[in-house]
Structures are given as C-alpha cells and as structure tokens.
Structure 1
Amino acid sequence: MPHTWYKVDNVAKVFLASVTRRDPRVFRISCTLTEEINPDALAAALQRTARDLPHFSVTLHRGLFWHYLEQTDKVPTPVPETQRPCAAIYGRDLKNALLYRVSYYRRRINLEVFHALSDGSGGVVFLQTLVYNYLQLRHPDELAGTPRQPGASADDMGQDSYHKFYARRAAAPLRDPAARKPVCRLPGRRLPLDQTQFFEGHLSVKEMLARARAMDVSLTSYLAAAQILAVWREVPLLDRGKAVTVGVPVNLRNYFPSGSGRNFFSTIRIAHAFSGEETLAELAREFDRKLRAELGEERTKARMDTFERFERWPVVRLIPLPIKNAVVATGNWIEMRRTTLTISNLGRIQLPAALSPYVEGFAAYCSSDGLFTTVCSYGDDLVLGTVSALRSTNILRNFYRALAEDGLTVTLYASEVNP
C-alpha cells in the first residue's frame, strides 16, 4: 500500500460535519442477479475486491485539526440484509469500523458506503468489481477468460483529485433572476422517528430517451422538470412567488483526467420561478438551457476549486476540528435550505457482456432529510431510487403520474414506514 494514512478530501469534511440520524450520509448501490446469492462465494469475492481496491480498506479517525483515514487489513463480512437501506455506517458507537458494508438478500447484493469515503462513481466501480469477482467464482468455466473492465491503478484510485487539480480558477456567476428569489421548501410534515421512505421506479431507457429527445433535452433535464412540476402542484399559494431549485451533482472525472475512487464531484443548483402554467416541455427546455450553461468547462472547473480554496487559507488550518465542524455544518445547513430537491444521475452501468446472462439490474439510493433521487440504468432498465423524508407521498404521486400521462410505462415500488 502506498500510504498508511491520509487526510480526508474537502467534500468529505462536509459529510462528516453534517451526519444526522435521519441522514447518516450513506449511499447504496445494489445489483440484482438472476440467481440466489451464495454467501460463501460472496465473502471470497469481497476479499478479492478489497485487495483490488485498497483505498476502501480504511478506518476514520479524528485529529486535532482534521479527520484522517488510516489503511487497515480489515475486510467486512457480507451479512444478510436486516437493516433499512442507507443505515448509519459512521458514528460514536461505530468507531474504528470500515466505512462501507456489503449485505445480500435473495438475489441482490447491496453495497453501502459512507459518503466521506467515496462518491457514487467510486461506489459503482467497487460494486462492478465485486459482481465480476463473485460471478467468476460461481461460474469459472463459463466465464473463463472474461476480462475485467479496465480501471485505474491503486494509486490513482486513492488520489485526492480536488487537491491535485486545484488551480485557483474563478468564474462570474450567471445572471438568473430565478436564482435570486427565495427558495421554495418542500411542503408538508416530515416522517416521525427520523424515518425516510424509499421509492424505486422502473422505466424503459428507450422510451425515456425518446421523450427527452422529442423535447431536445437531456434525460436529467426531463426528469428534473417533471419533479419541479410535481413539487409545484403541492406548494401553498402564499409560497408561489418562490423558486423551486434542483441540486444536480456533477462527476468531475468528465472534466479532469482522474481515476479517483474517492469523492470527486461538485453540485450545481438550477432554479425556476413559475410565471404561469408552464408545460413539462417548456420547463424541460429552460432547465436544459440553464444546466448546459452551468456545465461549461470553465465554470465547472472554477466550481471545483471552491472546495479546495477554503482549506488552503493558513488561518483555517490552525482552527481546531470541533470549530471547523461547527462552521462547516452551519454552511451546509444554509446551502441545503437553498435546495428544494436533488437529482443525481449515475448514468449507464456496464459490465462485460459475458456477465449479462447472470445480471438483472442495478439500483441506487442516497440518504436524505428531504427528497433525493438517484438515477442509473442497466440495459433498457432505467431505475429511479428516491429517498423521501416527507410524510405525504403526493409529490412522487404527481411525478410518476405525469410520466405515465406522457406515455411512459412505469413500475413503482415503495417501502413501508411507521405512521
């Protein structure tokens, strides 16, 4: 191993300072196979995967001025799924534990990761490797000679890309009147007992892309517009002068030559203030125009530098960790109040073609104290995994009803909650 310890990246510091009982800052990516999971084979595959991707084999510790990660020989044992999705991984009663866990249920393998360790793209790489190793053990003859998908080196996977690619860039904010309006908060009461509810929608990739292309927008813009409209239908009349804002995480590996398996993303915020009865197509086109402007290379790289700039101030380095955490937590709280909902698109998940007879699909979730939808696809199966802290399901009912009315075939599942 190239290092024994290293500082957490600056995005991880936000997650560490903002863990709550309702939102433990955990994301889940799962893979459903076409056969029942063999626990012994999964344990052996996890051992291989931990060796292949050593940057996941770390424990988290507190220093005087910062948190740091220390490499360890610990490897988790896959366990039957008994906890709710995205249950806490890091906390006072979970000291010196690994920052991820693997569980299984019937035909499904679940990878859950504390967000201070990695982001969704890094999690996808780990799960792809785990599924590959598992199926190689279960079907050695049929999959003999099947190459693993090419990946980055161990050094590159453990790289802090925020630090490496920092260049003191800056970009002027875009002039958007909607972004200057007060932000509409999600209407309605929260679920009791710090619960969240999980919704999983399945659609056809071909159908969805056809609708998005008919409007000349991206898939993300189409879904975001539909969710904005779904929220708007539930907003009280007195709040209708406010803007609905959508947070969209952006994978920075698309802009920098990084193979990091740690966090390497930024989040942009797109706002819309309703002026009348905008249609889904009109709203999707406006959202897409704003999204493309924010995704320009110059703006994206400048936005990335904001994560690193604050930590480079000499005075900040000398501030004790508890004070830093309080400041970061306050800043994150303010930022969250400027966001109505979040949509994260992990994109298409791929595996070697020889594995496809054994794989049914993937799904992903991210813990939230609001409304957070994670999008991914495998083959023609587009999956929307939504975590909601709201007692009412009206927003998601409006959302999926709008998709169905637009000609899309929808299959929806939901978890149960205590009233």
Structure 2
Amino acid sequence: MEFLKTLVYQYLMLRGMEDPVGNDILVPEDPPRPEEMEDSFERFATSRNIKRTGPRLKPSYQIKGVPIEPPGINVIHGVMDAGKVNAFAKAQGTSLTGFLLSVLIQAIHDEKKAGDRREERIAIAVPVSLRRHFPSTTLRNFFYVANIDVSMDGYVTFDDLIKDVSAQLADKTDKENLQAGINRFVSLQTNPLTRAVPVMLKYPVMRFGFNQLGERLKTMTLSNLGNIKLPEAMKPYVDRMEVVLYPTRKSPINCGIGTLNDRLTITFSRSIMAQEIIRTFFMLLKEKTGQDITVYSNDWGDGI
C-alpha cells in the first residue's frame, strides 16, 4: 500500500502537482527508517513455547468449476457509496466487514444449495492487520488470518448469520487471540527443527502445507484494506481504489475490498467460468441495502 501511494505521488509530481503532501507519503529521497524494516512479529511476541490447543479445524466447502479458457483471471468490481453502506451495517449491529462477510456467506450458501444440499462449513479467511492493537510502522507483513466459519443448514436467518459472523469477528480479532497468533507464528519461525531444514527442502514442504492444509480450511478469502488515507493534495486526482486478490487452485474465487474518497469498491477475481456466487452477492447486497452498485469487469471470460 505504501509503495503504491508513493508510486502515485511520483506520477502526480511528474504531471505537475505542486502542493506538498507533508509526511503522509514515503518519498524515495528519504532514507528508510529502521522501524520500517523491523520484524514486528518478533518484537511483540511474548512466548516462543506454544502448545496447540482447541479443536482441530475441519475442511470447508470448496468452490469448484471449469477453468476459464483461454486461461486468465476475470475481475469484477462493484462500486458503492461507502458512507451509506457503513451506516447500514452499523444499523444491523455489525461492522462493514461483518456485513459484507454475511452477505458473501449467504450468497455462497444460496448457490451451493441449488446444486449440492450436503451441509458443509462455509469458511471465509479474513486477513487482519495487527497494527491496531500492536502499533508498528514496519513495511513487512504484519497480519493475522481469522477464519470465519458457519455451518449453514438452510434454517439460519440472515439476522442470525450477522450475529454469528460478528461474534466470531469480535472474538477472533481481540487482542488476546491476536497475541496468541503472533506467538504461534514466532514459535514456528524460531523452532530449531524448522531453522535446521535447508531452504531447498523447506519451500516444497511449506507449499504442500499451504495447498493441502491451509487452503482446505477455507472456502475463499475476503480481504478488506479499510479506508485508505491519502494527502489532501492527492485526493482530487484519485477516484477510487481496486483491491485485486489473486485466486488459487482450491480457492478459485476471492474478494478484495478498499475504500477511498468515500467510494467502496468490492472486487471479485475468479479463475473459473462459474460466476453465480458473484452475481448473487451483488443482487443480495443491492436488495438489502437499497443502494446502487456500479458493476464493471475486465471482460476476461464471461462478464457478469
């Protein structure tokens, strides 16, 4: 994000923008500060000896479909008034992320029900920035992934779904659970056995673990980068921001969200022909909020 903001700043300066942007942008002429390169996981870890607790997570419902031909990624964006959608979510007793998660889970369930009536967990992986609870200015990765999972049996109302999702979000992103996640990560990273494995062997093992274990625990990923702050001098030149989250083999549809200049942009990327979940999501979103949605696509494969 910081790199992109710097890139846009440099472009606008070349195009003649003269207003200063203060200290809100990292400019190439400034030397990097040590804090930008710190390992914040290491800094905030409180323990390196972690025993696994809690129930073992079960595999979740997996979206399947015929790959797009010719191979490529179809990207579909939906743009809305951020302030109005935020206000609606709060009126439902949840956050913007909680509301959009609930709509997404409902859309997946509705489309799944049409072709496969087996009850399975629908699990959405939600990357969570750790910077709110653990102040850091590092430019390295510093996030935790919370799996929000719901067993949809056909009798769950949307209001109950919102309550369940909101409760899970609150629980899995409170400081105590985030601290435990930091400790687990550092414990694995500093484990003598892990450190002793040569990189040429470690990478294939990590890739196998990612594909066979981590990917099987989620149906898709929803990443909300939140409200992106730009200096006042840059705002007139930027309309909105698109967050494109790449799909994977076991998660062929993913969702990225970003808000800029009060424009909420919800972006789905997919590597399969099936687009019913995306269409149902936007239909449900419009139906529940009553707000207009401007939808457009890169037109790779069939559009929505």
Q: Same fold (TM over 0.5)?
A: yes
SS of match in other structure, 2:269: strand
Q: Name the stretch that deviates more: 292-301 or 268-277.
A: 268-277
Identity of aligned residues (%): 27
- In the alignment, which residue of structure 2 is the partner of 1:210? 87
Q: Which amino acid aligns with 1:186?
A: I
- In the alignment, which residue of structure 2 is the partner of 1:247? 125
Write the deviation string for residues 73-99 of structure 1: whole angstroms up to 9, x where unpaired. xxxxxxxxxxxxxxxxxxxxxxxxxxx
- In the alignment, which residue of structure 2 is the partner of 1:139? 16
Q: Which amino acid aligns with 2:162?
A: A
User: Among 23, 37, 51, which residue is 1:158 paired with?
Assistant: 37
Q: Does 1:411 align with 2:289?
A: no
- In the alignment, which residue of structure 2 is the partner of 1:228? 105
- In the alignment, which residue of structure 2 is the partner of 1:201? 78
TM-aligned CA distance change 1:135 to 1:182, over 3 Å: closer
- In the alignment, which residue of structure 2 is the partner of 1:82? none
TM-aligned CA distance change 1:285 to 1:174, over 3 Å: farther
User: Among 262, 274, 278, which residue is 1:392 paired with?
Assistant: 274
- In the alignment, which residue of structure 2 is the partner of 1:17? none
Q: Which amino acid aligns with 2:193?
A: V
Note the C-alpha offset of 1:181: 5.2
Q: Verify the 8 A CA contact 2:78 2:295 in the aligned structure 1.
A: yes
Q: Does 1:277 align with 2:155?
A: yes
> Which runs of no fewer than 5 residues in structure 1 stay unpaired?
1-123
TM-aligned CA distance change 1:227 to 1:167, over 3 Å: same
Q: Verify the 8 A CA contact 2:2 2:25 in the aligned structure 1.
A: no
TM-aligned CA distance change 1:139 to 1:288, over 3 Å: same
Q: What is the count of residue pairs matched by the alignment?
A: 291
TM-aligned CA distance change 1:347 to 1:211, over 3 Å: same
SS of match in other structure, 1:361: coil
- In the alignment, which residue of structure 2 is the partner of 1:336? 215
Q: Verify the 8 A CA contact 1:171 1:299 in the aligned structure 2.
A: no
| Length-normalised TM-score, structure 1 | 0.64
Q: Distance in 1 between matches of 2:69 and 2:203?
A: 27
Note the C-alpha offset of 1:138: 2.9
SS of match in other structure, 1:130: helix
> Which runs of no fewer than 5 residues in structure 2 stay unpaired?
none
Note the C-alpha offset of 1:207: 1.8
* Structure-to-structure mapping, 1:20-419, within 5 angstroms: 124-141=1-18, 143=19, 145-149=20-24, 154-168=33-47, 182-192=59-69, 194-235=71-112, 238-333=116-211, 334-369=213-248, 370-406=252-288, 407-418=290-301
Write the deviation string for residues 138-194 of structure 1: whole angstroms up to 9, x where unpaired. 3354x1x4423166953211222222322227598667xxx8554111143333454
Q: Which has the higher contact order (CA 8 A, sep 6+)?
A: 2
Q: Verify the 8 A CA contact 1:253 1:264 in the aligned structure 2.
A: yes
TM-aligned CA distance change 1:238 to 1:180, over 3 Å: farther
| Length-normalised TM-score, structure 2 | 0.87
Q: Distance in 2 between matches of 1:305 and 1:181?
A: 23
SS of match in other structure, 2:102: helix
SS of match in other structure, 2:258: strand
Q: Verify the 8 A CA contact 1:187 1:235 in the aligned structure 2.
A: no
Q: Which amino acid aligns with 1:346?
A: L
Note the C-alpha offset of 1:235: 1.4
Note the C-alpha offset of 1:366: 1.8
Q: Verify the 8 A CA contact 2:57 2:217 in the aligned structure 1.
A: no
